[in-house]
A and B are shown apart, each in its own frame.
Chain A
Amino acid sequence: MHLLSQLLGRPVRGETNVPLGTLDDLVIRMEEGPYPSVTGLVVRAGRRRFFVPANQLRELSGVALLSSARVDLKQFQRREDEVLLGRDVLDHQIIDIAGHRVVRVNDIQITQVDASFRVVGVDTSLKAIVRRAGPRALADRIIGGQIIDWANLHYLAGTAPVRLKVSYDRLADLHPVDLARIVDALSLRESATIVAALDDETVAETLEEVSDSRLADLIEGMDQERAADILEEMDPGVAADVLEDLDETVAEQLLAKMEPEDAAEIQTVLAYDEDSVGRIMITEIVRVAEGSTVGAALALLRSLDEVPNPLLAIYVVAQDQPETLQGIVRLRSLILADPATPLQELMDEDMPTIHPDEPAEQAARLLAEYNLLAIPVIDEHEHLVGVVTVDDALAVLMPEIWQRRSSRMFH
């Protein structure tokens, strides 16, 4: 086990202990498996920096010992996809995927595996800082701190001055809330690089959890076609909030680029005040005409391309008038009933409803008071326009969650 900080600057010797110079840096390739191997050494001798391929490296402890005394003294030139451990990784930011945070590399752990040397972990502890900055006597007493396995790290592609192929699969697998946390912690430019590499759906889910100002900056900074695609994937309420934070002309341009259906939906939501029921309600609900049976309703549900999530109840509406709510049938009753039962028998007709202009808090209060999972939203024309679920209401009741999403401060 070696620590990079204790290798850099140490002497490099050839076969018969001939001094060749000092170790300036280690070169790695990123694409090889979970633990990148050292492909070579950059050795400094006076003003010259030259490259020694790793297959000439025999030992790395204390002094770097080479297997031959013959080296090519040509000035070192970095090639594409080559990353320098000391220059491009040490002291730089890196994503700790398992910890969902952005950390700084205070030291790098290298291990000999068979014939090759591999990067196995990164030390992010304060101990490593003291070890590197303090006097040597102190440094030797401080061994490892928090070592993070390299396999759990995501190297930021923008860090090294070369074009790198970095896999984003592991980031895409993160929970949107955790990924959002990382996107918020990075600089705007780094976070834009990550957002550019992920698919629309993942980005939409993630951005819904990102702070408002970061979200607006990211959307404004990206290609408009892409921004429109991402907004389409978002919950219309959130998309409406985003558009409101943008410059008016940009918002209009984005709406014009979106699918007309999605744009119309967002514009409906935009008509309601911020913090009103209209903003937090979901508009995707399952409507079934009165007179249907349980079996018919279940068959309808199964035939849907997109089933609302969460699915808490189905809404029984008047024949030929899908806006007129007759009553609701909860999922529980629906599943337990015999398929031949008419929906009318299971239907709850006497439930509280709420107007879209009412404050969102009011919906939360009703949900809590009546022990409901969802509450239908009925507008002034007696039309069913959506429902507020307990999920959405929870965010209103827990202001600290909102605060997380609120403003990202300047530095």
Chain B
Amino acid sequence: MKTPDQTLAPPRDGKATGRPKPSLRARLLLMMAVVGPGIITANVDNDAGGITTYSVAGAHYGYSLLWMLGLVALALIIIQEMSARLGVVTGKGLADLIRERMGIRATLAIVGVLLIANLANTVSEFAGVAASMEIFGISKFISVPVVAVGVWLLIVKGSYKFVERIFLVASALYLTYGVSGVMANPPWMEVLQASVTPTFHFDSNYIIIVVTIIGTTIAPWMQFYQQASIVDKGLRVEDYAYERLDVIIGSVFAVVIAAFITIACAATLFKHGLRIETAKDAALGLGPLAGSNAAALFALGLLNASVFSAAILPLSTAYVVCEALGWEAGVNRNLKEAPVFFGVYTALIVLGAGIILLPIKSLIQAMLASQTLNGVLLPVILIAMLVLINDRELMGDYVNGRVFNIISWAMVVVLIGLTALLVITSVFPNFLT
């Protein structure tokens, strides 16, 4: 195992202790080691709520919402880049930083917001489980409890790491939308034109879908999750350039998939004036690729995404709550050592699954509503991140530049504006028209 050629090599630039400049291979290896948190987070992002939202956006609004996705991608990159920068510079999780720099009241408010958003998301994941299994004719009263218990055991018994890779590989099922979108043979000129032509309507359904798209693509849990993975991997400022690349690739990938889901559904459902009422309707978006197997393929993809996120979200939430309030956390602790950790984790799964078992008229509506809530809550997290990243004592020279700040604060203003519009148009449907 000795490498004699290395020991014989003369010391570079006369300094025997100096770190040699990494070779191309070493740099590639480093990049592979670093590339991860951003791409994985983006992958989890296309969960039940995401797939449903993009399908509905395509089926009900055709290509007319595509222009938004470019802006959403930009916003996603900006936000996830800040989370990555906070992580590599401070070595601390987002909840940690909020507690240390912003005090107890802000912490409680933000943890509260995240608990609500993530409960809604967990509900939507179980709605995804129920919807996908209904395609196979399995009642939600069987599928939801089985998956809830399964997911709980998977994490608590510590076998999650092993299954994670299977989930990740199975995520490639999203790519079928890309193929399907192409095979549907949409009018590409029209698609392209719609992608660059902003349109906007002041009716409440339209504003809801806009907020929902933003909320599902830039969900509040993502920043906590990504930053935690970065900190856990021990990435440092030196790795920042690679990590930023990881974030950009992940974000672009997530949004391209979103665009293809929208296109596939627009080219099939919207063209024929069909509306999505159940998961089976959404499956028709895969028709051009899978034909009569579309429903099965869609169900498998949705099930995988739902179970994957149903495992991660409650766990990530439990970590955030404990991290912020100073309780012990970790699956390698026992119930007595970490009661709050297991309590939050279990409660989210039980509530998330339980709510779906209530008589709910439309699972699709349940999934959409949870994503709208994400969008409404997002500005709170965003403001906290902006406060932290501009804290010079914390970030040193890595604070935001001026342009970056202007864009970020503009984003906050737009998001709050949209939420306000959403409330106004919901309460007074004819207020603006």
Contact = CB atoms under 8 A, between A and B. Distances in A.
A409 B232 CA distance: 9
Interface string B309-328: 00000011001100101101
Interface stretch (B103-111, B169-177, B400-408): B103-111
B228 A410 contact: yes
B232 A188 contact: yes
Interface in B159-204: 160-161
Given A133-B104, A187-B231, A256 B2 contact: yes
A411 B228 contact: yes
B3 A185 contact: no
Given A132-B104, A133-B104, A189 B91 contact: yes
B323 A409 contact: no
A102 B225 CA distance: 21
A221 interface: yes
B50 interface: no
B339 to A, nearest CB: 12
Given A92-B100, A404-B332, A188 B1 contact: no
B96 interface: yes
Interface in B1-43: 1-3, 7, 29, 33
A410 B158 CA distance: 12
Listed residue (B93, B233, B315, B330) with the most chain A CB atoms within 10 angstroms of its CB: B330
Nearest to A104: B326
A144 interface: no
Contact of A188 (B33, B91, B99, B326): B91
Contacts of B319: 411
Listed residue (A211, A255, A405, A407) with the most chain B CB atoms within 10 angstroms of its CB: A407
Contact of A91 (B100, B160, B225, B320): B100
Interface string B263-282: 00000000000000000000
A106 interface: yes
A184 interface: yes
A382 interface: no
A154 interface: no
B104 A129 contact: yes
Listed residue (A91, A106, A404) with the most chain B CB atoms within 10 angstroms of its CB: A91
Given A93-B326, A188-B232, A403 B158 contact: yes
A327 B229 CA distance: 54
Interface in B93-126: 93, 96, 99-100, 103-105, 107-108
A140 interface: no
Contacts of A330: none
Nearest to A124: B326
A316 interface: no
Nearest to A132: B104
A129 B100 contact: no
A85 interface: no
A292 interface: no
Given A409-B160, A411-B228, A411-B320, A129 B325 contact: yes
Interface residues of B, number: 42
Contacts of A255: 1
Contact of B328 (A92, A185, A192): A185
A99 B131 CA distance: 47
B111 to A, nearest CB: 11
Contacts of A189: 91-92, 231, 234
Contacts of A406: 158, 332
B232 A411 contact: yes
A3 B225 CA distance: 34
Nearest to B157: A403
A187 B92 contact: yes
Contacts of A185: 328-330
B331 interface: yes
B316 A411 contact: yes
Contacts of B100: 91-92
A133 B158 contact: no
A133 B96 contact: no
Contacts of B232: 188, 408, 410-411
Nearest to A260: B2
Interface in A339-371: none
B3 A187 contact: no
A355 B11 CA distance: 46
Nearest to A403: B158
A310 interface: no
A211 B91 CA distance: 19
Given A133-B104, A161-B393, A256-B2, A409 B330 contact: yes
Listed residue (B99, B160, B331, B332) with the most chain A CB atoms within 10 angstroms of its CB: B332
Nearest to B164: A410
Interface string A180-200: 000011011110100000000
A217 B328 contact: no
Contacts of B393: 161
B3 A256 contact: yes
A91 B328 CA distance: 15
Interface string A253-286: 0011000000000010000000000000000000
B330 A252 contact: no
Interface string B80-94: 000000000001110
Contacts of B325: 104, 126, 129
Contacts of A187: 91-93, 96, 231
Nearest to B229: A410
Nearest to B326: A104
Interface of A: 91-93, 101-106, 124, 126, 129, 132-133, 161, 184-185, 187-190, 192, 211, 217, 220-221, 247, 249, 252, 255-256, 267, 403-411
21 contacts: A91-B104, A91-B107, A93-B326, A102-B328, A104-B99, A126-B325, A133-B108, A161-B393, A184-B332, A185-B330, A188-B234, A211-B332, A252-B1, A256-B3, A403-B158, A409-B158, A409-B315, A409-B332, A410-B228, A411-B224, A411-B319
Given A102-B326, A106-B326, A411-B232, 6 more contacts: A133-B108, A217-B233, A256-B1, A404-B332, A406-B158, A411-B319
4 smallest A-B Cβ distances: which pairs? Answer: A104-B326, A411-B228, A189-B91, A411-B319
